[in-house]
Amino acid sequence: MEDLKAYIETGILELYVLGDVTPAEKLQVEELASKHPAIKAELAEIERSMELYAGENAIEPSEYLRSRVLGSLLTNFGDDNDFPTQTHTERESVVVTRPYKEKEINFYKYAFAACLVLLLASAAALYNLYNRLNDTNTRLNAMQLQNQHFSTTVSAKDSELNLLRDTSFKLIRLKGTEKSSESVMTVAFSPSKQKVVIDMEGLKLPANDQAHQYQLWALVAGKPVDLGVFDATADSSGFKNMKAIASADAFAVTLEPRGGSESPTLSQMVVMGKY
């Protein structure tokens, strides 16, 4: 009994009521209380006086708080499984101990820095890529132009080749007259197709001026027939279709005023060739 009294005198029971004991002390107090009515009675007295003391120091909370609190309790009334409401979880997350909190802040700090670095790196990479894309687009356009140029050239060459393969065509070489002995040109003539084509690329005629043009003539039964005009320039290329005719004995070219003449000026004849 003396021991119990000494135990009570230590003040441990007061601390127990205040929740200020270790788990071991708590167990000890509870065990002793269940065995000794004296301790149980002492505890009850301490509890009662602390409760009354709290009552003396009570502060009435605002009127509106009553409905708020009761509302939050009764919202899930009858459904205990749902009870851990948001308020509850929020509280759990709000109660963070200090070391953990600092770690968390550090984590966000680093995460933010990492994000920034990533953002900058991506921006640089994007800029680089954008430049390359532009470059590629320019080159692609140039290639397309070139390609177009090639395909037109190829199709032109193709048609030229086809013309040369066409057996109905005959190639007539017109040779230079005394007036211009160096001149030479080729005429392709197909009587069956009534087509006359001149080779502009192999053309060797003195370049004509702005006021004059060369005119191609066909001699049919001794009479000259106009087959159209053309210019002799250094960079002329391909074949040129002339006016149609069914038959010809010979072809000749004279230099005429621009637009051509009704009849050839014989003194200005530069080349001639027989069919």
Residues in touch with other proteins (CB under 8 A): 9-12, 14-15, 17-20, 30, 34, 43-62, 65-66, 68-70, 72-74, 77-78, 80, 83-85, 87-88, 91, 94-98, 101
- Which residue lies nearer to other proteins by CB, 67 or 148? 67
- Which residue lies nearer to other proteins by CB, 49 or 131? 49
Q: Which helix (H) or strand (E) holds 230?
A: strand 223-230
- Which residue lies nearer to other proteins by CB, 106 or 155? 106
- Which residue lies nearer to other proteins by CB, 74 or 123? 74
- Which residue lies nearer to other proteins by CB, 81 or 167? 81
Contact 227, 275 (CB under 8 A): no
Q: Strand, helix or coil at 49?
A: helix
- Minimum CB separation from other proteins for residue 59, in Å? 4
Measured CA distances, 267 to 179, 186, 213, 251 (Å) = 8, 21, 15, 16
- Minimum CB separation from other proteins for residue 132, in Å? 48
Bridge partners (DSSP) listed for residue 239 = 199
- Minimum CB separation from other proteins for residue 63, in Å? 11
- Minimum CB separation from other proteins for residue 60, in Å? 5
Q: Which helix (H) or strand (E) holds 14?
A: helix 12-17
Instruction: Report the alpha-carbon distance of residue 127 to residue 20 in Å, rounded.
Output: 64
Instruction: Report the alpha-carbon distance of residue 254 to residue 202 in Å, rounded.
Output: 18
- Minimum CB separation from other proteins for residue 115, in Å? 22
